[in-house]
Structure 1
Amino acid sequence: MNQQPPAPRDEDVEHEWMLQEQALQAERLNLDARGDDALHRYRLVARALRRPLDENLPTDFACRTALQAHRHATSGMRLELWLSWAMLGVWIALLLVLMAVYGGAWLSLLRPALPLRAMTNPWLIALTVAVALPVALEQALRRKEA
């Protein structure tokens, strides 16, 4: 049965709403059924909703339902993780191909953007990567969790 009143301008929906409310009240008060067929049908629905379930749920119903939902969610996450790793592999392969094709020419493009000392000192480059990579990964994980 409806839980909210209908929109005020729809007369058909409002009529159905009133029939449902009348049937619910008639069923609560145990009034005699009248000749209206729609009212009788709604009374049957109200009676069925008030009756307890015939069968009891198993004792581990909630646990099984949660486990099934978890399996469904993790199967989608596995696919997402696999696709992420595949995309990362494609990017790495593309980077290796570009490095093989262009050699050190791409390094000369970065020289104006970086200080000259950073380009000549490989330890400073390694330190920058070692600091920046975990920070970037942590931010990516936070975005994924949110």
Structure 2
Amino acid sequence: MAPDLSFDHLGLVCSDLSLGRSFLSRTISVGDWTASFTDPIQKVHVQFGRDRGGMVYELIAPSETGSPIAKSLKSRQNILNHVAYRTNDLAAAAAHLEAAGCLAVSMPDPAVAFGGALIQFFYSPLDFIIELIEQDQSRHIFEPLPQD
């Protein structure tokens, strides 16, 4: 039986949060944004945006040279980076993904953007990355983007 997973966001790699925010705002009407977060464990800056239809996007920019996503930017691969799901049992959801042929590409680590909740990434047999977030109660806090 599949664990209870609920969609959270689509992760997009960009070189700079302000450039990514400006592009998504102009092109697909993403108008509500959370505060930005710097995560020293993942070595990234992140910010979540929501479009009029309720779709949530996570912009991910490297916070230092050794950031794992710096390779994506350099190679221009995996820019559409991952699909994220919330779960209230990370171990069970991870076991389910592994049984379905997914490969864990990270250990469970706390994430600043989720208040220290554990996250873990998996590479799927369909060649995309799945992020699991062990948290189902809190939600992103969005505010309208100030006009420049």
Does TM-score exceed 0.5, indicating one fold? no
**Going by fraction, where is helix more abundant, 1 or 2?**
1
Instruction: Kindly name which structure, 1 or 2, has the bigger radius of gyration based on alpha carbons.
Output: 1
**Going by fraction, where is strand more abundant, 1 or 2?**
2
Higher relative contact order (CA 8 A, sep 6+): 2
Q: TM-score, normalised by structure 1?
A: 0.18
Q: TM-score, normalised by structure 2?
A: 0.18
